[in-house]
Amino acid sequence: MSSLVIVFVMFVMGLLAYQRGFNPFAWIFASGCLGFLILLFLPSAKEQGLDAQTREARRRRGNQFGWGLTAILLTLGILAAVLEVVTVLSA
């Protein structure tokens, strides 16, 4: 059941990122409360009336945040898995 919730949250984050003009793959693993709040407060790259330069700057900034959060969360996940293996092996 918890795996379905995780997959659902990942899907929602990707969809929300796409709707705001960002790369959905940058945001799929940036799930969680922090990622969701950051995504909600970032200015949309699809807002009407933006010139091309502003639209690109917003898109780039949003994708950088998404990839950064993804990198941090994946690194923490890998570290947690390594610590778990070390703990099991040392017991």
b/e burial code for range 31-63 (CB count within 10 A of at least 16 → b): beeebbebbeebeebeeeebeeeebeebbeebb
The answer to pTM > 0.75 is yes
Containing domain of residue 40, as a range?
2-90
End-to-end Cα, the chain, rounded Å: 30
Q: Going residue by residue through the chain, which has 91 residues, state the pLDDT in tens, using 9 for 90 and above.
A: 788 988 888 899 999 999 999 999 999 888 778 888 999 999 999 999 999 999 999 999 999 999 999 999 889 999 999 999 999 998 7
- Number of domains making up the chain: 1
What confidence score (pLDDT) does residue 42 get?
94
What confidence score (pLDDT) does residue 2 get?
83
Task: Tell me if residue 51 falls in helix, strand or coil.
Answer: coil
Single-letter amino acid, residue 15: L
b/e burial code for range 68-85 (CB count within 10 A of at least 16 → b): ebbeebeeeeeeeeeeee
Outline where the chain has alpha helix (H): 2-19, 24-27, 33-41, 52-90
